[in-house]
Amino acid sequence: MPAMVMTLDLNDPELEFSDLVYAYQSWVMAVINDEKLDSEDKLLSDEITEDALNAMRFLPGEVTSAIETSLARVYDVDADELAALLFPED
């Protein structure tokens, strides 16, 4: 099943906060899927990564942290390990 690609248009007046959350959440889930789960389907793409990085510019840190924490719990991934997977250069 191919991943749904949603490219954010930051100039779109119809763009909503939920679109930004969805973009960031999709990236975190794709990283968990590709790095931690025994899934044959790879979800991470350049488009998903780019949308997430753009969304991060507008999302408060509390929101991105809540998304990361929630998904780490759901997928039983250590929060520190997830942070290292999401931001390996930090």
> Given a cut of 70, is residue 42 above it in pLDDT?
yes
Higher pLDDT, 90 or 83: 83
Q: What is the DSSP letter of 20?
A: H
Q: Is residue 87 part of a domain?
A: yes
Burial class (CB in 10 A: 0-12, 13-18, 19+), 63: middle
pLDDT of residue 1: 39
Other C-beta atoms closer than 10 Å to the C-beta of 82 total 20
Q: Is residue 61 part of a domain?
A: yes
Percent of the chain beyond pLDDT 70? 92
Q: What is the pTM of this model?
A: 0.87
Q: Is residue 69 part of a domain?
A: yes
Domain total of the chain: 1
Q: Is residue 60 part of a domain?
A: yes
The residue segments making up the domain with residue 90 are 42-90
